[in-house]
RNA sequence: GGGCCGGUAGCUCAGCGGUAGAGCAUCUGACUUUUAAUCAGAGGGUCGCGGGUUCGACCCCCGCCCGGCUCACCA
């Protein structure tokens, strides 16, 4: 028998012991008077004398540590990220409660009723007068000093990660604040939150390979969406002039520290503005999100201070010139010259060549938050062409810490040009580009009813969360990142005995 | 998918071609203000899986599984 199973059975055997004390090992309501964090907030500053006026509390949580010393002892209760010490003395609690105390295991969930005091060493604690048993832990818990460090276990058993490493909870609290901040800011600007299909008969709105699924009754294949864009623009046609959606996209592509197959995007569309208007809006949104998430517009990321209150704007071509790696720094004129582009990239068209060069020479050096604008038309099938250069579009991306975190453009609303772009994409698909855009005739029909001039933008919530929580892997900001299945676990058999 | 690194007790980690180790956790005992509690004792391992080399493999070789980093693709 493995040690783990031995431990499991030892603990299972405590259940009848607990029942002998007249207690239920699982499941009933517990009316607490304070959360642990409220006690810490309100009483951490109180001295022992100030606590001599009795403060009654009834609290609950998971047992994080136990120190037994014969006829008395201590334990730490943990609730969310807060922890509070409890002192149990044989004379101060009913006999059955002290018997219960002697049966407790690390990880059990209990309630404690008593009063606050400070121990001889000065730690704020609850002097227990009653104990309540709330739920039994049957498994060994990670070591108290190091916590759970095995990355695989942390992702597979996130529940364990969350209570063994309470700072992980903070990451997800920050993530929720980030989403809340975007919502509040957009609502304040009269944007309407909407939900559009995640299962789509045609996929579009981005360059990516999709997941395919099947509806049995209709007997049709459906795609998990790669972006909500085409549906959100249909809503603009319909007169919902400011809409946004925060939800999952699914892309059937590689997994890395920056990519999870499902990830969360904010997309918003505003009629009667353009990409320049969105640049201003983006700067306002990002600055406030940083403040709401971290308390400051200047955020520490991997030892670098990223300033979301001061976002630079430069064109792709300017970025290539500025961040050129190598001796022969090009001029702006050269970067516009097709000859020069061809001699520095093996890609097919000038636009693709420029993007290729930018990705090699600019992207990873955009550490401070920056807006990079003017993207080639070939890589922007849904964006409006620039008036002064039809090979470029009115589009920008937002970069920080070398990562793309946002993408925005003046929406293409000319249905004839949109049709031409779809044809272009189909030709690319013919040439073997599996990520090229599909033709969407219903979308063309919607545009044919006239879509107002519109600016649209997408912001990657996971990547924003990485930046604002100082996380280097997207898996650290997704509660349950995709992993291969782990195989048989075997606990069902133990529980069945 | 390629390259590099890793998988040893429940957790965190040593180890090494010659009898599998430590700390925490667990169990027994002592202890009525401890705090990485302390003290005395005990139990606990398919060394990721499968082959091979060898008198002998946790260790060397091959294949596979799982994970991390990285490159490619992408956001």
* pLDDT at A486 (0 to 100): 85
A112: pLDDT confidence band, cut at 50, 70 and 90? very high
Q: Which nucleotides of B are covered by protein (CB under 7 A)?
A: 1, 9-13, 23-27, 30-37, 43-46, 65-75
Which residue has better confidence, A430 or A310?
A: A310
Residue A355 has pLDDT above 70, yes or no: yes
B10 C1': nearest CA residue: A140
Alpha-carbon distance A3 to A274, whole Å? 64
Distance A11 CA to B26 C1' (A): 10
Which nucleotide is the nearest neighbour of A264, by CA and C1'? B75
Burial grade of A438 (CB within 10 A; 0-12, 13-18, 19 or more):
middle
Instruction: Let me know the angle formed at the C-alpha of A431 by A417 and A429, rounded to the nearest 5 degrees.
Output: 50
Per-residue pLDDT at A1 exceeds 70: no
pLDDT tens digits for A442-495?
999 999 999 999 999 999 999 999 999 999 999 999 999 999 988 888 888 889
CA of A142 to C1' of B13 (A): 14
CA angle A166, A185, A182 (to 5 degrees): 40
Helices (H), A189-274: 229-238
Find out whether A57 and A39 touch, Cβ atoms under 8 Å: yes
Distance A244 CA to B28 C1' (A): 64
Residue A173 CA to B74 C1' — how many Å? 27
Number of C-beta neighbours around residue A157 at 10 A: 15
- Find the Å distance, CA of residue A2 to C1' of nucleotide B45: 8
- As a whole number of angstroms, the distance between CA A311 and CA A286 comes to 9
Query: Which nucleotide in the DNA or RNA is closest to residue A142, CA to C1'?
Result: B11
pTM of the model: 0.95
Averaged pLDDT, A233-239: 98
Query: Which residues partner with A426 through β-bridges?
Result: none
Residue A117's nearest nucleotide, by CA–C1', is B33
**Structure-token pair, residue A122:** 């000065």
Q: What is the mean pLDDT of residues A361-374?
A: 90
Two tokens, residue A105: 């295991």
A91 nearest nucleotide via C1' and CA:
B32
Q: Yes or no: say if A457 and A282 are a contact pair by the CB < 8 Å rule.
A: yes
Per-residue pLDDT at A365 exceeds 90: no
The C1' atom of B53 and the CA atom of A394 lie apart, in whole Å, by 66
A344 with A357: CB under 8 angstroms? yes
Q: Quick count: other Cβ atoms within 10 Å of Cβ A131?
A: 23
Could you report the per-residue pLDDT of A133-151, keeping only the tens digit for each? 999 999 999 998 999 999 9
Which tens digits make up the pLDDT trace of A138-195?
A: 999 999 899 999 999 999 999 999 999 999 999 999 999 999 999 999 999 999 999 9
Residue A189 burial by Cβ neighbours in a 10 Å radius (0-12, 13-18, 19+):
middle
Mean of per-residue pLDDT scores for chain A: 94
ipTM score of the complex? 0.93
- CA/C1' separation A432–B48 (Å): 40
Q: Give the nucleotide with minimal C1' distance to the Cα of A139.
A: B10
Query: Considering only CA atoms, which residue is closest to the C1' of nucleotide B38?
Result: A69
């Amino acid at each position: 028998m493995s040690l783990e199973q031995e431990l499991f059975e030892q603990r299972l055997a405590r259940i009848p012991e607990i029942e002998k004390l007249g207690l239920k090992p699982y499941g009933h309501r517990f009316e607490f008077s304070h959360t642990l964090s409220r006690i810490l907030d309100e009483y951490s500053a109180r001295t022992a004398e100030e606590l001599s006026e009795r403060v009654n509390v009834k609290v609950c949580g998971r047992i994080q540590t136990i120190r037994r010393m014969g006829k008395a002892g201590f334990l730490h209760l943990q609730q969310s990220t807060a922890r509070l010490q409890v002192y149990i003395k044989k004379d101060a609690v009913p006999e059955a409660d002290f018997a219960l105390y002697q049966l407790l295991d690390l990880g059990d969930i209990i309630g404690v009723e008593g009063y606050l005091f400070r121990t001889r060493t000065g730690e704020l604690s609850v002097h227990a007068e009653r104990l309540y048993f709330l739920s039994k832990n049957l498994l060994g818990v990670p070591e108290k000093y190091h916590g759970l460090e095995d990355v695989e276990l942390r992702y597979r058993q996130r529940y364990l990660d969350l209570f063994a490493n309470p700072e992980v909870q903070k990451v997800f609290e920050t993530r929720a604040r980030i989403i809340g901040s975007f919502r509040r800011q957009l609502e304040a600007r009269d944007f309407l939150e909407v939900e559009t299909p995640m299962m789509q008969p045609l996929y579009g709105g981005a360059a990516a390979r999709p997941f395919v699924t099947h509806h049995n009754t209709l007997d049709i294949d459906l795609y998990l969406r790669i972006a909500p864009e085409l549906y959100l623009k249909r809503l603009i046609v319909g007169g919902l002039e400011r809409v946004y959606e925060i939800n999952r996209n699914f892309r059937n592509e590689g997994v890395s520290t920056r990519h999870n197959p499902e990830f969360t995007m904010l997309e918003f569309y505003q009629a009667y503005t353009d990409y320049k208007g969105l640049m201003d809006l983006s700067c306002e949104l990002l600055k406030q999100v940083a403040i709401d998430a971290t308390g400051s517009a200047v955020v520490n990321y991997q030892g670098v201070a990223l300033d979301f209150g001061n976002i630079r704007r430069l064109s792709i071509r300017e970025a290539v010139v500025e961040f050129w790696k190598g001796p022969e720094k090009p001029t702006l004129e050269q970067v516009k010259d097709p000859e020069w582009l061809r001699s520095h990239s093996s890609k097919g068209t000038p636009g693709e060549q420029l993007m290729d060069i930018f990705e090699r020479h600019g992207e990873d050096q955009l550490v401070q938050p920056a807006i990079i604008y003017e993207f080639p038309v070939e890589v922007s099938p849904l964006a409006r062409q620039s008036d002064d250069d039809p090979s470029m579009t009115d589009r920008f991306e937002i970069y920080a810490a070398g990562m793309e975190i946002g993408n925005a453009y003046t929406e293409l609303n000319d249905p004839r040009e949109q049709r031409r772009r779809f044809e272009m994409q189909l030709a690319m698909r013919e040439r073997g580009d599996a990520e090229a855009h599909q033709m969407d005739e219903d979308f063309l029909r919607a545009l044919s009813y006239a879509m107002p001039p519109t600016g649209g933008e997408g912001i990657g919530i996971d990547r924003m969360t990485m930046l604002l929580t100082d996380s280097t892997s997207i898996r650290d900001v997704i509660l349950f990142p995709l992993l291969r299945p782990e195989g048989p676990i075997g606990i069902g058999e133990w529980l069945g005995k």
